[in-house]
Each structure stands twice: as structure tokens, then as C-alpha cells.
Homo-oligomer: A and B are copies of this chain.
Amino acid sequence: MPRGPRETAAATREPVTRERAVRVAVELADAGGIESVSMRKLAAELSITPMSLYYHVPGKEDILDGMLDVVYSEMHVPRPGVEWRTAMLERAESTRAVLARHPWAISLDARTSPGPATLGHLDATIGVLRAAGFSMPLVGHAMSLLDSYVQGFAMQEATLPLDASGDIGAVTEDIMAQHQMMSNAFPNLAEMAVTLILQPGYAYGNEFEFGLELILDGIEKVHRQQVEAADA
């Protein structure tokens, strides 16, 4: 029966490593939001004291970096052979799905110092576009555009006061209560609320696809023009 070092009581099981600490931090954030990830709570969850964490990790920043890389590692990585448009679509939708699973990651997304999963993801994406004949500048354009949109949309979506189903219903009363006031000060906003957003079938999440397809159409058009120009 092999056993790790330092197993005094019957408490500890797995050894504490940076990897496990980050994994547990992700679980904490999933359960209680990013503000429930503190060095003390994390240490408690690992059955060690706060300062013992610093043996495995240089500081909290490193844990946050690790958490973001875990999130990226859950995303679908485009495979080399796939047609570029399909790959980009899958990538965007996978990103959105993963961020929906880990909403706290949206605010962490602004962080520098990417991890290996993040870099691998970028590398694979560039590879697919290059294989499809995209010029390097166009790869830059396309990725900046797509990533900005996907990340921005996730942030907008997180901002809205939605219930779990993505429906706006839960706050309808609040909005209607303010409606009289809004109609005077912000007539266009009030009209949009009543005739669009508060309509039964409306869900903000559905806006995602419109923008995504529009962007992919635009990129496809530019790509085709470049290819034709090169052939001529």
C-alpha cells in the first residue's frame, strides 16, 4: 500500500500539488463564485494551512492563471484537417459553452501570462486558418475579430440579469415597475423592452448566432477576394 508523505491523521488523501490546488480552486469558484476562492478557503479545502499553499505556488495570481488555463483546456481544440469555417464555429460555440459552465472565468479573461492550454488552443486555431490558405494578416484579423466578439458577448450575457434558463422573466416585474418612468426619460429603450426583450420567445443568448454567422460571412468574403486576387 503506497502512501504519500506526511499522512499523520487519516485526513489527507491525494498529495497537494499546484495542479490539484488549481483544480480545487476551480471547484470552489464553480460552487460559490470567484470571491469564494481565497488562499485560506483553498487551503482549508486541501486540509493544509494557508501558508503551506505557498510551498506549491508563488501566490494567488498564479492560481488564477492556472484556473484560466484549466478553463481553456476544457475547450474544443480544432483539429488540423477541419474546414476552417466549421472549425471557427465550433470553437466559438465551445468557448461560449465552457464560459457558461464557469462564469467566473469571464472576468479572469483579461489576465496576462497564458498557460499551455491557452497557447495550444491559439496555435491550433492559427493552424487551421493557415491550412485554409489564409494570409498571415488575415489570420490576425479573423482571430482578433472572432475572439473579441465571443469574449465580449460572454461578458454582455453575464451582465444581464438572467435566470438559469436564460430567460428574462425573473426581472420582468422590476422592469415593468420602472416602465412608466423609463417611457418618459428613455422612450426608445422602453419601446425596445416591451416590443422585443420582454416578448415571450426572446432570449438574449439567441443573439449570439446572428453575429457569429455575420462575422464568418464577412471573413469568408474577404478570404475569397484575397484568393482570387492571388490567382489573377
Q: Which residues of A does B touch, CB under 8 Å?
A: 106-107, 109-112, 116, 119-120, 122-124, 126-127, 130, 136-137, 139-141, 144-145, 147-153, 155-156, 158-161, 182, 185-189, 191-192, 195-197, 204, 207, 210-211, 214-215, 217-219, 222
Alpha-carbon separation in the docked complex, A195 to B100 (Å): 35
- Residue in contact with A155 in the complex, picked from B119, B120, B152, B197, CB distance below 8 Å: B152
- Contact present for B187 and A137 (CB under 8 Å): no
Report A182 CB to chain B, min CB distance, Å.
8
- Contact present for B123 and A187 (CB under 8 Å): yes
Chain B minimum-CB-distance residue to A125: B188
Copies of this chain in the oligomer: 2
A123-B186, A155-B109, A159-B110 are known contacts. Are A144 and B215 too (CB-CB below 8 A)?
Answer: no
Alpha-carbon separation in the docked complex, A110 to B188 (Å): 23
B residues in contact with A185, CB < 8 Å: 116, 119-120, 123
Q: A144-B156, A152-B153 are in contact. List 7 more A-B contacts (CB 8 A).
A: A112-B159, A122-B189, A123-B185, A126-B189, A140-B196, A144-B210, A218-B218
